[in-house]
Amino acid sequence: MSRMVKCVLLGIEAEGLDYVTYPGELGQRVYDNVSKQAWQQWLTHQTMLLNEYRLTPIEPKDRKFLEQEMEKFFFGGGSSRPDEYVPGD
């Protein structure tokens, strides 16, 4: 039986993550409050951020930026797209 959570992003009861996907307190909050579907939405958004801002996840400042954006995405009213971003077809 799947673990269910009240998803903070979608506002519905949905299947929760199978494991903590990020370390620390933020990772635990995500595990406790984010559904698999919402996590996939974050991964898509994160990929866009990585590409548009040309981030390198091994750089501490880039990791910190992504962590702040994840916090905003799930718990702070949303993470915005770069002004120059144009979705591809």
Question: Looking at residue 1, what is its pLDDT?
Answer: 66
User: Which pLDDT band, with edges at 50, 70 and 90, does 86 fall under?
Assistant: low
In a domain, 47, yes or no: yes
Nearest to residue 70, comparing CAs of 37, 23, 26? 26
In a domain, 80, yes or no: no
In a domain, 38, yes or no: yes
In a domain, 81, yes or no: no
Tell me which residue range forms the domain holding 48.
4-75
> Given a cut of 80, is residue 87 above it in pLDDT?
no
Nearest to residue 40, comparing CAs of 63, 13, 17? 17
Give per-residue pLDDT as tens, 3-30.
Answer: 999 999 999 999 999 999 999 999 999 9
Give per-residue pLDDT as tens, 28-80.
Answer: 999 999 999 999 999 999 999 999 999 998 999 999 999 999 999 999 977 77
**CATH number, position 26:** 1.10.3880.10
pTM: 0.87
Structure-token match 């506002």, residue found = 11
In a domain, 10, yes or no: yes
In a domain, 31, yes or no: yes
In a domain, 82, yes or no: no
